[in-house]
């Protein structure tokens, strides 16, 4: 069986912040790491607080990979149109 290379992510899980505060924090962290696509953000919800940390990280990393794929596809489409 072929072993998959484990992606390494830097993950921040935030709780207790208002929506705009979350966006400010994300912008601040992204500005500190402008070329680092391995930074993953998540926020605690009433639903995911019942999960184990491992499960939450797994879900956040899965969503992050999906979003990266969408962004790559959009960039390719934009490039084709130019």
- pLDDT tens across 7-45, in order? 789 999 999 999 999 999 999 999 999 989 899 999 999
Contacts of 60 (CB under 8 A, 6+ apart): 9, 11, 13, 40, 41, 42
pLDDT band at 1 (very low <50, low <70, confident <90, very high): very low
18 Rama class: left (phi>0) / alpha (psi -120 to 50) / beta: beta
pLDDT band at 80 (very low <50, low <70, confident <90, very high): confident
pLDDT at residue 3, rounded to an integer: 47
Please provide the average confidence, as pLDDT, over all residues in the chain: 90
């Amino acid at each position: 069986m072929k072993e998959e290379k484990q992606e390494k992510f830097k993950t921040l899980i935030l709780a207790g912040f208002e929506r705009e505060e979350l966006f400010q924090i994300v912008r601040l962290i992204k500005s500190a790491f402008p070329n680092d696509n391995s930074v993953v953000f998540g926020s605690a919800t009433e639903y995911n607080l019942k999960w184990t940390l491992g499960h939450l990280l797994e879900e956040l990393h899965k969503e992050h990979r999906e979003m990266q794929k969408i962004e790559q596809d959009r960039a390719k489409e934009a490039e084709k149109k130019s």
